[in-house]
Amino acid sequence: MIGDTIVLDDRSRTVIGVAPEGFAFPDARTDIWTPIGIVGDTNSRAARFLTVVARLADPATVAAAQAEMSAIAAQLAAAYPASNRDRDAFVQPLHETVVGNVRPALMVVWGAVGFVLLIVCANVANMLLARAQAREREIPVRMAIGAGRGRVVRQLLTESLLLAAIGGGVGIPLAIAGVDLIPRIGGTAIPRLNELQVDTGVFAFSFCLTLATGILFGLLPALGSSRADVNEGLKAGSGNFARSSHGMTSAILVAGEIALALMVLIGAGLLIRTFQGLTEVDPGFNMTNLMTMRVEPPFTSSVPEDPDYIPSWIEAERTKAALFYRQV
């Protein structure tokens, strides 16, 4: 379509570019971009209602752009002290502008999920150790008939990886279902929730995480079982040594589980206490039955042809008000 002419708002427009599929700016409701129509006194330097979004030229950096914009702001302040004195330009990555304010909260959630994952891994490793105690005669028998230590470790790791794969296989469908549920819960608190999807990157990350956790919680029990003494293991009543060896490892895992669980609980308690403290802050006015909203009519580039209509059109287009309503 580039170079073609379309009719938009009864005016002929030439298409100069097409955004890629899935591109949304400033939000998903935007379908088309047109040059903004500036009317009135274009020489006024007091109007500051626009936010500029630009793409850095290669190999420019944000720091270099900030330095250049600060230099331009200083020149403007010297040339127009009445309107530009004590004013600077601030350059920030668009990603930081959109999601920067929610990154700390998301990192806290990420850390909590990581701790829970480690707790689950330690718990599963503990269960595998308990299962190894029940197989304390099976492993020495396998080694006695020719299975090497590496073969035993591979067998036990295969079992743990199969267990991890089952967990990952259950998690993926739950994640797909959660993609539709999370936006309903999050609302507008988290930006770009409508773009959540389980794509190939998520599948690749899930596969790597499943592989890593399978090795993580399966390697320690596998190494412990492969170190069993064949002669002692084949003797009747020789399970005491294996139980003591596994018991020490199991105690370490349980202690680690308790420590991680305490960290998660303490962090959750601090977050709840902080939230309660924020809800109890006195804003300085009575919030009962009070609702606030912001009304921003869309700024259009379609300038009316009638000169007598322009003043009211400007007033309607530039209206940005915070309205307060008290329910009676």
* Beta-carbon-side half-sphere exposure of residue 315 (alpha carbons within 13 Å): 5
> What is the gyration radius of the CA atoms in the chain, in angstroms?
32
Q: Is 5 helix (H, G, I), strand (E, B) or coil?
A: strand
Q: Is 189 helix (H, G, I), strand (E, B) or coil?
A: coil
Helix axes 200-226, 103-134, angle to 10 degrees: 30
Return the pLDDT at 126.
77
What is the rounded CA–CA span in Å between residue 289 and residue 274? 25
Alpha carbon 181 to chain centroid, angstroms: 16
**What does the pLDDT profile of the chain (328 residues) look like in tens digits?**
899 999 988 888 899 999 888 787 777 778 888 887 665 566 677 777 777 888 888 888 999 999 999 999 999 999 988 888 888 888 988 888 877 778 888 888 888 888 888 888 888 877 777 776 666 666 666 666 666 667 777 777 888 888 888 888 888 888 888 887 777 776 566 777 777 788 888 889 889 988 888 887 777 776 666 665 555 555 544 444 445 455 666 777 778 778 888 888 888 888 888 878 877 888 787 777 887 777 766 555 444 444 444 444 444 444 444 344 444 3
Which tokens belong to 252? 């370490």
Alpha carbon 35 to chain centroid, angstroms: 33
Is the separation of the CB atoms in 139 and 162 below 8 Å?
no
Return the pLDDT at 320.
40
What is the rounded CA–CA span in Å between residue 121 and residue 188? 34
Which neighbouring-strand residues pair with 39? none
What is the rounded CA–CA span in Å between residue 128 and residue 153? 13
First to last CA, the chain: 54
